[in-house]
Amino acid sequence: KALHAVPHSQATPIQAISVTIAQLFTTPLGEIGEKLSEFFAGTMRHVPTLSWPIVIGLIVFIFVVVLLMHSRYEMHLPFMMGSLRPSSHGAIQGAAREKELEDALNASKSTVKSLENTIKELEKTNRALEYNIKSKKHVSRSSSNERINLQRERSSSNRRENNELRKRTTSPLRANQSSHMKTKENRDPCQSKAASDLGVQREFLPD
């Protein structure tokens, strides 16, 4: 039974997950603890027991200073003896980065100003185009009105001329008809009297 038993089938998934997480954390910490114990054991082996606190304090102080320098903090020693600070390479990089950011900001501001100027110029040109279009429309309307007025004047003048021509042409015809009728009356007085008795007008008598 022990040979045929499978350990993976006997363990639940929760147990497997918990054991895996514990191994992930405990294994490296155990290695670190072993190395630290070996370090302290090797350090304290040749040091008397009374000086152990001093050695431990020095080790802790050095560890704290390294952490502070790594996190870019400064430490000033007492009595103006000096200060502990990180290297200036990071500060130079930060200053260069700030300068690059300032240059980029100035460039973006200049581009924004140029875009604003172009927008203003486009607005001016748009206004000029609108004014030209309105003036053209006004001119076209005035020209169309003038054309209509000219056409009306021409038509009225043509009508007047036609009326004058009609009057001129009809006046001699009427004079001829009146003279012809007078000669008829002089020739046939009896016929004119009979026609008048019948109620026929002189103008509509046959020749």
- Domain locations in the chain as residue ranges: 7-90
Cβ-based neighbours of 65, under 8 Å, separated by 6 or more: 75, 84
pLDDT digits (tens, 9 = 90+) for 86-141: 655 555 666 778 888 888 999 999 999 999 999 999 998 888 888 888 877 766 67
pLDDT digits (tens, 9 = 90+) for 53-69: 888 888 888 888 888 77
pTM for the model: 0.31
| Distance (Å, whole) CA 82 – CA 65 | 14
User: Which secondary structure element, helix H or strand E, spans residue 117, and what is its range?
Assistant: helix 88-187
| Distance (Å, whole) CA 183 – CA 70 | 146
